[in-house]
């Protein structure tokens, strides 16, 4: 298993969860133990479950999968006692376009994540966890199986972990190619052997999740952040970021940049600095046109909207989202209509089909955008795209409908000239019927 | 008293019980919130998004079909934003939906049409290419047009939860999601057609009804299904004296929307080419062989009446075998005819359940007979010796819904796997005859229930039936019973007295009697399974078809089916319902009319003794003379089911055997032999206790 | 129906790791692993998985159509998956895909005549920062140019 990184690290990073990346055999338990491994678990073992949750709350850690829900708060929703066993499910379905960070955490530091899972087990009194990994990450499933086997062999999983008397079993579970299975309730249905269709909430997974039992579901990176939080204290983690947006996160910078890569940056890091200093700026000195802040589900930002700190609340205030950390940089050569089409092709393909607005809306929008790209665009299509997107927004069963609508609305609103350019000359003066 | 909640909908103050869904609270107050996927009795989905409404103080539109009412909630269901949301959702739905209205069966009763008409979006802005998939035929009775499907998943839910069959699923993803049958490109199921009726659009259509007519061209006649004893109401769609379809979408009747393949599709026997349409006399033809000659009614009646009178005059022996399918009026009149006009006590019918011992053992008790509705409300149910979902599908449906909606406990003691096993708290397999031991093994569990309803088949009869009642008593909880019988008026046959009281011969004894002078068979086929000993007997047969018994007949009289006459029938639970004639078949007469005409032919004394042979008049007499039948005439006249109270003290024992015919979902005695539809499905003739593959409960 | 000893071992572990009475959870992982050995999700495989997971064949069938990685028809020995989603598209993913179509002479979900290669235009596979990304069977390849793709394919052809 190579420990060679896929991109050069940046000196501007603040490496917390990625601090072991690049170490020789970083993925082994020995390396982990030699580098602060399991200190947090032992500490947590001496804490009450409430104290653990309080520490996570104090860290202001928010879900790193995309929704950004305060993690400590989510943990507190799991009922203290339950006649049914409680489960932990780790969302390693990582399929949000622009996102490639959970891969690295599992590849280079699997035991950190495992330790985080165990601490969560202590916090909610759970003894069984399922690591749901997308089917395309087969090599990582095998990698995690080996890491888990190593942990069992050395007494860090199974019965009486590290001699502390705590039991926990962890299993991997393969997906088979479905973006919607990253949605937590659809993931649970998939884990149960069904089609990945999201569920009605309430009941929330914390109360009735996997197999109708209380379930704690979090992203790989969220669990990976737990050991540093418990080891060094929630306040220390929080202080790295901005108020209510604690800590650091892995930002996946891709697109038109000289040094695309995954970089760990504190919450609140300036976006432009990330693009130009961390990622080396735009090749050929081209101008910045737009940024996808955190995965294709986010409304895009125009170049003049990018001078902002990157945290959940600021992005929300400017009408977008911090999302999954998948930051995609678009330069002036980018055809926004083609971009919008590719996004809609994705959502139409991945729509689970459960509800009318998403199922039919994404397909219709894709067809309009395809026609536009093929040269058959009409002037009235542009406001139509916006209207249809708005007919999906807030009306769908799960967030996929919003995820399809929001970037489309932002592109139509912010880049009308790109659509204008694609209108066949004869059509551009057509009046809307 | 349940807690009530006060809320406001469209400015009107509304009160509803706590926990009521907003959509139900609105509908109960005449405020329509449209929905496709929400369906009463099936799990909630919130998939179609048509029921989105505005609730003050919430940012997004709320799903009306999953939101319980809350105190002080202020709801707007017709505001601008809600109307636009509905129109938008409909517009999305209509993008792929083909404009098939001119050729689609559902036109005129289509919920999508109704909604588009009401909420707009009839003119679409969609100018792209629609996805097309060819139509598929999944069985002789089920067609599927995928492009029309709006993916409301009602069909999947009604098949899985509602019927417990699990034959439909959903495949693929996104806009190419498709409903799929359990055998890839065909269905192996109950063929009940529930999926077709529940489909809001014309995606699932009936192979029988396809392209035949428009709904407004039909006359809809609500009557009672003529097959099993459950007594489902079936609304027959009739056009030009032809029954084109049956369903119960108007939810009239004790069965709600439930029907099985027999109730929905088993009507085509009425028009089978071999239907008897003329009276016939047995003659010897030129070669000396037996043959049947069609004769006029007057000729036939003359022969019958003449022979009856002759035999009566010389004190000969009569035997009368009545039917499980004829109406109460016909049964009552027939036994009166036999006893008073013919002076005989030899009256019987094929008894399929031991009602005799049942009524005797329960004697004078009150509240021990369960109705169809009781099966939906009982806290615990015990099914003994019957494959209910095959033999009594409505009763099975009630129990299944009871478990789903009320978490009732069901127990099964049967000779093989039954569908109730999937929901059962306990299932016991026994050999026929070992049912009581099986029931005994459940004693502790049953004792712990708050009440119990026991449904039992013909394996429990005579002594074992008495022991069952003793067992029920020993549980010290309220116990009700259903004594299963086979056919649409098996109960009525017994209640009206088609039994050899006071020393008459049983059916078997009549057939075995070497010196029987007359055998009068009405709507029955006893000679299918046993020979007639008396060579000299003059045999009169009234039936729809030339059955084995009819072939021995000296005079054959063409009779009308239940769909061609009026009268009442009593279902397995003792509930009386009224039939309504849907069509007339040329040549056939109702059995009651035939009795009356024979009486008339026999002379005014007979006519005076028997009275007028109109169903209404006869029913009036039944109400006065048959114990437990003084039911409300308005109730049954308006399509209701009136429970009878037949328990009237001890009942003397009678000779004769009790045996169920063992029909399945696809067979129904003689009638099913002549139903092309019932025989066209691959599952026919069906098998009891077959134990099909079980789907995972989760 | 039996599988290789390693796969049987994996299946045994799988069926044991879910809660009591929840064998259905093994359906999707079983299908995707077994598919590698059987070549595709066949009727036989569906019946086998249904039996082992104690569900009806229809319930397994429903799932096959939902998940993109499960396929009913066999693919090539080397299944070349090329991402054209946003990050890859911006740095030449679409051009790479067009190039692959020409190089292999097949289109989306096509299989070469000799059964060696198949091609699929896929969605984001989680290699955005190292785009353009290609997955061949389960092996990831980053920063793939048309030339690099040629090399990869040619090497696989030669290895045969």
- How confident is the model over A61-102, as pLDDT tens digits? 999 999 999 999 999 999 999 999 999 999 999 999 999 999
Cross-chain CB nearest to A352 (options B85, B150, B173): B173
Whether the pLDDT of residue A428 is over 80: the answer is no
Radius of gyration over every alpha carbon of chain C, rounded to an integer in angstroms? 18
Task: Please report which confidence band the pLDDT of residue B31 belongs to, taking 50, 70 and 90 as the band edges.
Answer: very high
Task: Please report which confidence band the pLDDT of residue A37 belongs to, taking 50, 70 and 90 as the band edges.
Answer: very high
Q: CA-based angle B495:B501:B506, to the nearest 5?
A: 95
Distance CA B133, CA A163 (A): 62
Whether the pLDDT of residue B368 is over 90: the answer is yes
Is A92 part of any domain?
Answer: yes
Give the residue-averaged pLDDT of B420-445: 96
Beta carbons of C89 and A190 less than 8 Å apart: no
Tell me the chain A residues in contact with residue B44 when contact means C-beta distances shorter than 8 Å.
200
Sheet (strand A288-292) strand order: A261-266, A248-255, A326-331, A288-292, A301-302
**Model confidence pLDDT, tens digit, residues B112-169:** 999 999 988 778 899 999 988 899 999 999 999 999 999 999 999 999 999 999 999 9
- Please state, rounded to an integer, the average pLDDT across all residues of chain B: 94
**Are A213 and A104 in the same domain?**
yes
Give the residue-averaged pLDDT of A97-115: 97
Beta carbons of C66 and A352 less than 8 Å apart: yes
Ramachandran assignment for B447, one of left (phi > 0), alpha (psi -120 to 50 degrees), beta (any other): alpha
Task: Please report which confidence band the pLDDT of residue B696 belongs to, taking 50, 70 and 90 as the band edges.
Answer: very low
**Are A315 and A342 in the same domain?**
no
Tell me the chain B residues in contact with residue A211 when contact means C-beta distances shorter than 8 Å.
698
Q: B with C: how many residue pairs have Cβ under 8 Å apart?
A: 44
Number of H helices, E strands in chain B: 24, 28
Give the residue-averaged pLDDT of B368-396: 97
Whether the pLDDT of residue A432 is over 60: the answer is no
In this prediction the ipTM stands at: 0.97
Give the residue-averaged pLDDT of B280-307: 93
pLDDT at C146: 97
What residue in C sits closest to B186 (Cα-Cα)?
Answer: C58
What residue in B sits closest to A360 (Cα-Cα)?
Answer: B92
Distance CA B656, CA B498 (A): 12
Query: What tokens were used for A311?
Result: 């945290």
Query: What tokens were used for B115?
Result: 């909604």
Give the residue range(s) of CATH 3.10.20.740 domains in chain B. 4-78
Beta carbons of A193 and C85 less than 8 Å apart: no
Report yes or no: B148 and B121 within 8 Å, Cβ to Cβ.
no
Is A144 part of any domain?
Answer: yes
Number of domains composing chain A: 3
Is A71 part of any domain?
Answer: yes
Chain A, 330 to 349: residues with Cβ < 8 Å from chain B are 348-349
Give the residue range(s) of CATH 3.40.50.740 domains in chain B. 280-349+492-663
Report yes or no: A251 and A327 within 8 Å, Cβ to Cβ.
yes
Distance CA A389, CA A376 (A): 20
A192 contact C CB<8A: yes
Tell me the C-alpha to C-alpha distance, in Å, between residue A163 and each of A38, A117, A156: 12, 17, 9
**Are A179 and A195 in the same domain?**
yes
Tell me the chain A residues in contact with residue C28 when contact means C-beta distances shorter than 8 Å.
174-176, 190, 193
Q: A with C: how many residue pairs have Cβ under 8 Å apart?
A: 152
pLDDT at B123: 82
Residues 6 or more apart in contact with residue B345 via CB below 8 angstroms? B338, B339, B500, B501, B502, B503, B504, B505
The residue length of chain C stands at 160
Whether the pLDDT of residue A30 is over 80: the answer is yes
Cross-chain CB nearest to A256 (options C90, C138, C140): C90
Beta carbons of B89 and A356 less than 8 Å apart: yes
CB count, 10 Å around CB of A296? 29
What residue in C sits closest to B697 (Cα-Cα)?
Answer: C55
Report yes or no: B34 and B42 within 8 Å, Cβ to Cβ.
no
Give the residue-averaged pLDDT of B189-210: 95
B156: closest CA among B144, B145, B165, B146?
A: B165
CATH of the domain at A265: 3.10.20.600
The boundaries of the domain holding residue A302 are: 249-331
Report yes or no: B563 and B267 within 8 Å, Cβ to Cβ.
yes
Is A112 part of any domain?
Answer: yes
Cross-chain CB nearest to C24 (options A175, A178, A192): A192
Give the residue range(s) of CATH 3.40.228.10 domains in chain B. 355-483
Q: Are strands B518-522 and B318-321 parallel, antiparallel or unpaired?
A: parallel
- Class of domain B100-271 (CATH, top level): alpha beta
Choosing from A205, A240, A275, the residue where a domain stops is A240
Buried b (16+ CB within 10 A) or exposed e, C109-139: ebbbeeeebbbbbbbbbbbbbbbbbbbbebe
A64 contact B CB<8A: no
C56 contact B CB<8A: yes
**Model confidence pLDDT, tens digit, residues B631-661:** 999 999 999 999 998 888 899 999 999 999 9
**Are A45 and A84 in the same domain?**
yes
**Model confidence pLDDT, tens digit, residues C109-149:** 999 999 999 999 999 999 999 999 999 999 999 999 999 99
pLDDT at B693: 59
Task: Please report which confidence band the pLDDT of residue B187 belongs to, taking 50, 70 and 90 as the band edges.
Answer: very high
DSSP structural state of residue B506: -
Cross-chain CB nearest to B92 (options A180, A354, A360): A360
Distance CA B15, CA B3 (A): 10
Chain B residues in contact with chain A using a Cβ-Cβ cutoff of 8 Å: 44-50, 52, 60-61, 66, 85, 88-89, 91-93, 95-96, 125-126, 128-129, 131, 150-151, 170, 172-177, 696, 698
Cross-chain CB nearest to C127 (options A100, A174, A338): A100
Query: What tokens were used for C112?
Result: 């070469």
pLDDT at B285: 81
Residues 6 or more apart in contact with residue A240 via CB below 8 angstroms? A14, A16, A246, A247, A248, A266, A267
pLDDT at B1: 62
Distance CA B521, CA C143 (A): 90
CATH of the domain at A385: 1.20.1440.230
Whether the pLDDT of residue B242 is over 50: the answer is yes
pLDDT at A427: 52
pLDDT at A3: 59
**Are A315 and A191 in the same domain?**
no
**Are A278 and A359 in the same domain?**
no
**Model confidence pLDDT, tens digit, residues A130-176:** 999 999 999 999 999 999 999 999 999 999 999 999 999 999 999 99
- Helix then strand then coil, in percent of chain C rounded to 5, is 50, 10, 35
Domains, chain C: 5-64 (1.10.10), 78-159 (3.40.30.10)
Beta carbons of B173 and A391 less than 8 Å apart: no
**Are A156 and A203 in the same domain?**
yes
Report yes or no: B385 and B352 within 8 Å, Cβ to Cβ.
no
Beta carbons of C24 and B694 less than 8 Å apart: no
- When scoring C43, C53, C58, C71 by the number of chain B Cβ atoms within 10 A, the one with the most, hence best to mutate, is C58
Cross-chain CB nearest to C29 (options A102, A173, A255): A173
Is A146 part of any domain?
Answer: yes
- Class of domain B355-483 (CATH, top level): alpha beta
pLDDT at B541: 98
DSSP structural state of residue A168: B
Chain A, 355 to 394: residues with Cβ < 8 Å from chain B are 355-357, 359-364, 367-368, 371, 384, 388, 391, 394
Residues of chain C with pLDDT under 50: none
**Partner residues linked to A264 by β-bridges:** A250
Q: Report the gap between the CA of C120 and the closest CA in chain B (Å).
A: 18
Q: Report the gap between the CA of C21 and the closest CA in chain B (Å).
A: 9
Beta carbons of B89 and A384 less than 8 Å apart: no
Cross-chain CB nearest to B96 (options A355, A357, A360): A360
Tell me the C-alpha to C-alpha distance, in Å, between residue B314 and each of A109, A222, B247, B317: 108, 102, 52, 9
What residue in A sits closest to C139 (Cα-Cα)?
Answer: A139
DSSP structural state of residue B337: I
**Are A33 and A133 in the same domain?**
yes
**Model confidence pLDDT, tens digit, residues A236-270:** 999 999 999 999 999 999 999 999 999 999 999 99
Choosing from A185, A220, A240, the residue where a domain stops is A240
- When scoring A183, A354, A361, A403 by the number of chain B Cβ atoms within 10 A, the one with the most, hence best to mutate, is A354
Distance CA A117, CA A89 (A): 9
Distance CA B150, CA B162 (A): 20
Largest CA distance in chain A: 78
Beta carbons of B47 and A355 less than 8 Å apart: yes
Tell me the C-alpha to C-alpha distance, in Å, between residue A207 and each of A78, A124, A180: 6, 12, 21
Is A2 part of any domain?
Answer: no
pLDDT at A1: 45
Q: Which CATH architecture has domain B280-349+492-663?
A: 3-Layer(aba) Sandwich (3.40)
Is A14 part of any domain?
Answer: no
**Are A265 and A163 in the same domain?**
no
Tell me the chain C residues in contact with residue B184 when contact means C-beta distances shorter than 8 Å.
61
Q: Report the gap between the CA of A160 and the closest CA in chain B (Å).
A: 33
C94 contact B CB<8A: no
Q: Residue B120, SS3?
A: coil
Tell me the chain A residues in contact with residue C33 when contact means C-beta distances shorter than 8 Å.
174
Q: Report the gap between the CA of B121 and the closest CA in chain A (Å).
A: 13
Report yes or no: C49 and B689 within 8 Å, Cβ to Cβ.
no
**Are A228 and A178 in the same domain?**
yes
pLDDT at B369: 96
A156 contact C CB<8A: no
Beta carbons of B696 and C56 less than 8 Å apart: yes
Query: What tokens were used for B467?
Result: 């022991």
pLDDT at B692: 65
Report yes or no: B211 and B143 within 8 Å, Cβ to Cβ.
no
Whether the pLDDT of residue B287 is over 90: the answer is no
pLDDT at B630: 95
**Are A290 and A397 in the same domain?**
no
C58 contact B CB<8A: yes
CATH of domain B4-78: 3.10.20.740
Give the residue-averaged pLDDT of B351-355: 96
Is A18 part of any domain?
Answer: no
């Amino acid at each position: 298993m190579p420990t060679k990184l896929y991109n050069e690290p940046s000196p501007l990073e603040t490496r917390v969860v990625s601090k072991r990346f690049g170490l020789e055999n970083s993925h082994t338990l020995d390396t982990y133990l030699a580098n602060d491994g399991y200190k947090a678990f032992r500490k947590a073992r001496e804490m009450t479950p409430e104290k653990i949750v309080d520490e996570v709350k104090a860290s202001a850690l928010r879900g790193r999968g995309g929704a950004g829900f305060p993690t400590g708060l989510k943990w507190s929703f799991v009922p203290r006692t339950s006649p049914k066993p409680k489960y932990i499910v780790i969302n390693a379905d990582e399929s949000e376009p622009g996102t490639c960070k959970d891969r690295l955490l599992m590849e280079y530091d699997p035991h950190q994540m495992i330790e985080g899972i165990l601490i969560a087990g202590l916090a909610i009194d759970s003894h069984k966890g399922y690591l749901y990994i997308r089917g395309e990450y087969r090599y990582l499933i095998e990698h995690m199986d080996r890491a888990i086997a190593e942990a069992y062999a050395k007494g860090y999983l199974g019965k009486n972990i590290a001699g502390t008397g705590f039991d926990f079993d962890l299993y991997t579970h393969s997906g088979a190619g479905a973006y919607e299975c990253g949605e937590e309730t659809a993931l649970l249905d998939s884990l149960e052997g069904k089609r990945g269709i999201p569920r009605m909430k309430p009941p929330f997974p914390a109360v009735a999740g996997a197999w109708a039992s209380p379930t704690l579901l979090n992203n790989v990176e969220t669990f990976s952040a737990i050991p540093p939080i418990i080891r060094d204290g929630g306040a220390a983690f929080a202080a790295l970021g901005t108020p209510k947006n604690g800590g650091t996160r892995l930002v996946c910078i891709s697109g038109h940049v000289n040094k695309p890569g995954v970089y760990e940056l504190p919450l609140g890091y300036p976006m432009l600095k990330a693009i130009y200093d961390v990622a080396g700026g735009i090749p050929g000195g081209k101008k910045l046109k737009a940024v996808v802040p955190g995965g294709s589900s986010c409304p895009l930002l125009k170049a003049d909207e990018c001078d902002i700190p990157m945290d959940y609340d600021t992005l929300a205030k400017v009408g977008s989202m911090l999302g999954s950390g998948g930051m995609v940089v678009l330069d002036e050569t980018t055809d926004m209509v083609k971009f919008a089409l590719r996004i809609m092709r994705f959502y139409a393909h991945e729509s689970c089909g459960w509800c009318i607005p998403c199922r039919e809306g994404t397909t219709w929008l894709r067809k309009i955008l395809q026609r536009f790209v093929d040269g058959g665009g009409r002037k009235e299509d542009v406001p139509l795209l916006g209207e249809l997107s708005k007919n999906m927004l807030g009306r769908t069963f799960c967030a996929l409908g919003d995820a399809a609508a929001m970037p489309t609305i932002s592109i139509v609103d912010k880049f009308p000239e790109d659509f204008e350019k694609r209108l066949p000359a004869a059509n551009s003066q057509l009046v809307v019927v | 008293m349940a807690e009530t909640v006060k809320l406001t909908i469209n400015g009107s103050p509304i009160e509803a019980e706590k926990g009521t869904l907003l959509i139900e609270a609105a509908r109960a107050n005449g405020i329509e919130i449209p929905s496709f996927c929400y369906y009463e009795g099936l799990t909630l989905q919130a998939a179609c998004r048509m029921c989105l409404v505005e609730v003050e103080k919430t940012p997004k539109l709320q799903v009306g079909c999953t939101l319980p009412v809350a105190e002080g909630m202020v709801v707007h269901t017709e505001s601008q934003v809600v109307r636009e949301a509905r129109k938008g959702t409909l517009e999305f739905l209509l993008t792929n939906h083909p404009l098939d209205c001119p050729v689609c069966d559902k036109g005129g009763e289509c919920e999508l049409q109704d909604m588009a008409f009401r909420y707009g979006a009839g003119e679409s802005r969609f100018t792209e290419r629609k996805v097309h998939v060819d139509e598929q035929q999944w069985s002789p009775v089920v067609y599927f047009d995928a492009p029309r499907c709006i993916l409301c998943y009602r069909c999947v839910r009604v098949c899985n939860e509602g019927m417990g069959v699990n034959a439909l699923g959903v495949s693929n993803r996104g806009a190419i999601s498709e409903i799929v049958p359990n055998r890839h490109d065909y269905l192996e199921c109950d063929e009940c057609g529930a999926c077709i009726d529940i489909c809001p659009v014309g995606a699932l259509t009936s192979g029988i009804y396809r392209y035949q007519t428009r709904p407004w061209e039909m006359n809809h006649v609500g009557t009672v299904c003529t097959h099993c004893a459950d007594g489902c109401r079936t609304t027959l769609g009739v056009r030009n004296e032809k029954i084109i379809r049956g369903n119960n979408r108007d939810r009239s009747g004790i069965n709600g929307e439930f029907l099985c393949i027999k109730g929905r599709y088993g009507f085509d026997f009425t028009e089978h080419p071999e239907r008897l349409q003329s009276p016939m006399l047995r003659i010897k033809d030129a070669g000396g062989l037996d043959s049947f000659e069609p004769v006029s009614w007057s000729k036939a009646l003359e022969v019958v009446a003449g022979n009856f009178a002759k035999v009566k005059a010389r004190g000969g022996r009569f035997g009368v075998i009545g039917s499980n399918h004829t109406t109460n009026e016909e049964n009552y009149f027939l036994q009166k005819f036999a006893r008073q006009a013919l002076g005989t006590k030899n009256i019987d019918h094929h008894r399929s359940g031991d009602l005799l011992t049942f009524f005797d053992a329960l004697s004078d008790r009150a509240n021990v007979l369960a109705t169809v509705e009781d099966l939906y409300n009982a806290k615990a149910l015990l099914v003994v010796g019957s494959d209910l979902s095959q033999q009594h599908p409505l009763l099975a449906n009630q129990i299944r819904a009871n478990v789903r909606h009320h978490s009732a406990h069901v127990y099964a003691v049967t000779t093989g796997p039954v569908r109730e096993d999937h929901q059962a708290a306990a299932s016991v397999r026994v050999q026929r005859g070992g049912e009581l031991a099986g029931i005994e093994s459940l004693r502790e569990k049953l004792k712990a229930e708050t009440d119990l309803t026991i449904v039992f088949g013909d394996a429990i009869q005579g002594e074992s039936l008495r022991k069952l009642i003793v067992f029920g008593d020993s549980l010290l909880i309220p116990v009700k019973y259903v004594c299963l019988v086979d056919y649409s008026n098996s109960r009525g046959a017994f209640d009206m007295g088609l039994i050899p009281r006071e020393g008459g011969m049983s059916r078997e004894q009549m057939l075995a009697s070497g010196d029987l002078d007359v055998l009068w068979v009405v709507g029955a086929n006893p000679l299918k399974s046993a020979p007639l000993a008396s060579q000299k007997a003059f045999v009169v047969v009234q039936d729809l078809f030339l059955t084995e018994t009819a072939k021995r007949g000296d005079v054959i009289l063409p009779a009308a089916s239940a769909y061609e006459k009026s009268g009442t029938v009593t279902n397995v639970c003792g509930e009386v319902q009224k039939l309504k004639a849907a069509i007339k078949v040329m040549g056939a007469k109702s059995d009651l009319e035939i009795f009356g005409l024979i009486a008339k032919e026999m002379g005014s004394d007979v006519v005076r003794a028997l009275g007028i042979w109109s169903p209404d008049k006869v029913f009036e007499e039944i109400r006065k003379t048959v114990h437990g039948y003084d039911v409300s005439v308005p109730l049954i006249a308006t399509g209701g089911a009136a429970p009878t109270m037949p328990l009237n003290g001890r009942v003397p024992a009678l000779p004769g055997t009790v045996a169920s015919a063992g029909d399945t979902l696809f067979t129904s005695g003689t009638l099913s032999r002549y139903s092309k539809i019932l025989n066209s499905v691959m599952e026919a003739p069906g098998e009891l206790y077959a134990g099909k593959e079980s789907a995972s409960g989760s | 129906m039996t599988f290789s000893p390693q796969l049987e071992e994996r299946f045994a572990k799988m069926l044991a790791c879910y809660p009591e009475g929840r064998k259905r959870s093994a359906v999707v992982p079983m299908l995707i692993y077994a598919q590698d050995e059987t070549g595709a999700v066949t009727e036989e495989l569906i019946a086998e998985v249904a039996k082992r997971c104690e569900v009806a064949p229809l319930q397994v069938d429903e799932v096959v159509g939902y998940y993109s990685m499960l396929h009913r028809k066999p693919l090539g020995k080397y299944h070349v998956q090329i991402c054209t989603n946003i990050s890859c598209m911006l740095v030449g993913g679409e051009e790479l895909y067009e190039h692959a179509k020409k190089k292999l002479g097949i289109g989306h979900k096509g299989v070469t005549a000799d059964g060696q290669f198949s091609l699929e235009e896929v969605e984001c596979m989680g290699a955005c920062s190292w785009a353009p990304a290609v997955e061949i069977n389960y092996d990831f390849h980053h920063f793939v140019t048309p030339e690099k793709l040629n090399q990869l394919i040619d090497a696989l052809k030669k290895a045969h």
